[in-house]
Amino acid sequence: MIPNYLVSIDPVHIPSEKVDCLIIGGGIAGLRAAVELAGLRVLITCKNYLYDSGTYNAQGGVAVALNPKDSPQSHFNDTIAVGCGINDPAAVNILVNDGVERVKELIQWGCKFDRNPNGDEYDFTQEAAHSLPRILHARGDATGKEIVDALLVKVSSIPEIQIQTGFFLIDLVSDGECIRGGIFYDSSHSNIVFIQARVVIAASGGFGQVFQETTNPSSITGDLQAAAFRKGVVLEDMEFYQFHPTVLYMAGVPRFLISESVRGEGAILVNSKGERFMNIYHPDMELAPRDVVSRAIIREMRRTNSNCVYLDLRKMNGNFIVKRFPGIYNFCLEYGIDITKNLIPVRPCAHYAMGGIATDIFGKTTLPGLFACGEVACTGVHGANRLASNSLLEGLVFGARAGKKAKEFIELNNKGSFSLPRYKIDHQPGLSIDVYDLQKSIKSLTWKNVGIERDGDELHEAIEKLNIWGRYIFLKEFSSQDGWETQNMFILFLVMAHAAYLRTESRGAHFRKDFPYSNDDIWKKRQTFTKDFFKKETL
């Protein structure tokens, strides 16, 4: 069902370029990896523009044990607890310990985190499932912007690193044994380009656009995960997708995330009747793990026959709110909501992938020459549920490790030039497909059948529909970015649906209504998939 390549290419007529390292993705993981490769020729490609990343949009902050009252061991314990027993302890240990040094390093490079009014200490905030305040934030609620700006200054000081925007990855290129680069669509010149590289680092983020309701930028369609999967790379933990509980919900308004830090600073959740309800669902109430809060909101909406619940900040100091959350305050005000006086209508949206390209603790994938870091990767650090604000720390820590190990790979593998093969897949030239309608159908089916609450029958229904769609979706050879994105989304939906169907229990972000409890005897383990799985009948 799943082809090796999405396009047929005549290598004689395709422009090409050679670099030592190709990094795909310009967020925190890709930028941090690039720093480790100083002295080598590095190209960072961005699908759209430089600031179009999950990192840049990150509001809340970075979880790190820098608070004098905190420790890496406490951070480790909280991460393991939220991950519901299937985190990789070695990866978590690296995250919480290396993370301290990576954040200190970032501060040395000019990143300015917010301090208390006296300016003598950092202003740590509380978020869900953390045992104490350990979240560093910047510019109030614009932590991602501050981090990206600081990393870009560092990267720009290294002359061998170049950044290319408007480069969409169509496919990774392999010589049969090793990844040797990527085929890109250059939107600036409307042509296809081959970038040959001695090593490739995937750092392109998640795949939130597979869902109808998501906080992710429109560019986050899982292109690297799908391209790697086509080459035989292992995907892992794909059933575990995190939904953020509090996203602005108004007709016609973009799905704008309302940071968990808002609840950490004292906001409460109320239903359409004005009743606080989280005490019914968890003793930590609004600061329960994200999966618990998301399911509680869905059930409260169902119980009250409403399409949202509300965040209530009205008992908080108005001046504090404006200063602490300037981005959220100004965005909501544009749509007529003064969050110091008005309730904020919210509901959960797809937010973060715990699963992705399987890697070891150095970012190495199952295919030589390909490394992965950040949300695109799955190190096992998150387990079944990500602890709030661990994502930026993960990008820093494992971006640095992937960059360092990729440099070692280059030094040990002096491969010569590589001739781009002529790719050919069977296709039906006359086949017509409405890409917009197909994307809409994928998003709707994912949201309905593989969303916050899942059920075996609904998952089976989704897989049956995907099997039907798969009979023709890869017969069409697309020549546009939206077509390639649609095929990538289809692949990831297919893997995620099977992973969710096979895991007959509830654990963390994966909740099955027909199997509402965890089953450690059978399922205290992680699932992996390669495309060979889909060569046989699975249902």
CA 259/CA 282 separation, integer angstroms: 20
User: Of 333, 348, 363, which marks where a domain is finished?
Assistant: 348
Domain identity same for 164 and 50: yes
* Residue-number span of the structural domain to which 289 is assigned: 243-348
* DSSP, residue by residue, 344-364: EEEEEEEEEES-EEE--TTSB
Q: What's residue 2's pLDDT?
A: 77
Which structure tokens are listed for 76? 């480790």
Task: Give helix 435-449 / helix 456-473 axis angle, nearest 10°.
Answer: 160
Domain identity same for 87 and 196: yes
- Give SS3 for 274: coil
Q: Tell me, yes or no, whether 145 lies in a domain.
A: yes
Q: What's residue 538's pLDDT?
A: 46
Domain identity same for 287 and 200: no
So which residues are the catalytic ones?
290
Q: Which of 300, 280, 206, 258 is nearest to 492 (CA)?
A: 206
CA 411/CA 398 separation, integer angstroms: 20
CB 371 within 8 A of CB 200: yes
Q: What's residue 28's pLDDT?
A: 97
- Note the residue count of the chain: 539
Q: How would you class 148 by CB atoms within 10 Å of its CB: exposed for 0-12, middle for 13-18, buried for 19 or more? A: buried
Q: Which of 480, 367, 466, 391 is nearest to 434 (CA)?
A: 480
CATH number, domain with residue 209: 3.50.50.60
Q: What's residue 439's pLDDT?
A: 96
CATH number, domain with residue 307: 3.90.700.10
Q: What's residue 293's pLDDT?
A: 97
Domain identity same for 319 and 364: no
Q: Which of 409, 417, 385 is nearest to 506 (CA)?
A: 385
Q: Tell me, yes or no, whether 260 lies in a domain.
A: yes
Q: Which of 139, 144, 175, 164 is nearest to 47 (CA)?
A: 164
Domain identity same for 211 and 104: yes
Q: What is the pLDDT of residues 48-63, one digit of tens each?
A: 988 989 999 999 999 9
Number of domains in the chain: 2
Torsion 128-133-137-143 (CA) sign: negative
Q: What's residue 536's pLDDT?
A: 61
3-state SS track over 29-77: HHHHHHHCCCCCCEEEECCCCCCCCHHHHCCCCEECCCCCCCCHHHHHH
Q: Which of 464, 462, 469 is nearest to 438 (CA)?
A: 469
Residue 64 has φ and ψ, to the nearest 5°, of: -155, 145
Q: How far is CA 352 from the centre of its chain?
A: 5
Q: Which of 131, 151, 133, 154 is nearest to 143 (CA)?
A: 151
DSSP state of 422: P
- Give SS3 for 528: strand
Q: Tell me, yes or no, whether 455 lies in a domain.
A: no
CA 485/CA 168 separation, integer angstroms: 10
Domain identity same for 93 and 203: yes
Q: What's residue 531's pLDDT?
A: 93
User: Of 348, 370, 398, which marks where a domain is finished?
Assistant: 348
CB 359 within 8 A of CB 33: no
Residue type, 156: S
CA 45/CA 181 separation, integer angstroms: 12
Q: Tell me, yes or no, whether 520 lies in a domain.
A: no
Q: What's residue 537's pLDDT?
A: 47
Helices (H) and strands (E) in the chain, counts: 16, 17
Domain identity same for 395 and 259: no
Domain identity same for 46 and 148: yes
Residue 439 has φ and ψ, to the nearest 5°, of: -60, -45
Q: Tell me, yes or no, whether 69 lies in a domain.
A: yes
User: Of 393, 412, 431, which marks where a domain is finished?
Assistant: 412
Domain identity same for 109 and 258: no
Domain identity same for 223 and 360: yes
Domain identity same for 131 and 230: yes
CA 250/CA 259 separation, integer angstroms: 17
Q: Tell me, yes or no, whether 89 lies in a domain.
A: yes
Torsion 104-107-111-117 (CA) sign: positive
Residue type, 433: I
CA 270/CA 324 separation, integer angstroms: 22
Neighbours of 434 (CB within 10 A): 9
Domain identity same for 138 and 264: no
3-state SS track over 148-190: HHHHHHHHHCCCCEEEECCEEEEEEEECCCCEEEEEEEECCCC
3-state helix, strand, coil in the chain (%, to 5): 40, 20, 45
Q: Tell me, yes or no, whether 456 lies in a domain.
A: no
pLDDT in tens, the chain (539 residues): 677 767 766 665 677 889 999 999 999 999 999 999 999 999 999 999 889 899 999 999 999 999 999 999 999 999 999 999 999 999 999 999 999 999 999 999 999 999 998 877 999 999 999 999 999 999 999 999 999 999 999 999 999 999 999 999 999 998 888 999 999 999 988 889 999 999 999 999 999 999 999 999 999 999 999 999 999 999 999 999 999 999 999 999 999 999 999 999 999 999 999 999 999 999 999 999 999 999 999 999 999 999 999 999 999 999 999 999 999 999 999 999 999 999 999 999 999 999 999 999 999 999 999 999 999 999 999 999 999 999 999 999 999 999 999 999 999 987 766 767 655 444 455 578 899 999 999 999 999 999 999 999 999 999 999 999 988 888 777 888 999 999 999 999 999 999 999 999 999 999 999 999 999 999 999 999 999 998 764 44
Q: What is the pLDDT of residues 96-133, one digit of tens each?
A: 999 999 999 999 999 999 999 887 799 999 999 999 99
CB 12 within 8 A of CB 136: no
Residue 300 has φ and ψ, to the nearest 5°, of: -70, -35
CA 497/CA 465 separation, integer angstroms: 11
pTM of the predicted structure, to 2 decimals: 0.95
Question: Which residues make Cβ contacts (< 8 Å) with residue 163, sequence separation at least 6?
Answer: 26, 43, 44, 45, 46, 50, 155
Neighbours of 100 (CB within 10 A): 18
Neighbours of 535 (CB within 10 A): 10
* DSSP, residue by residue, 219-271: T-S-HHHHHHHHTT--EE-TT-EEEEEEEE--TTS---B--HHHHHTT-EEE-
Q: Tell me, yes or no, whether 255 lies in a domain.
A: yes
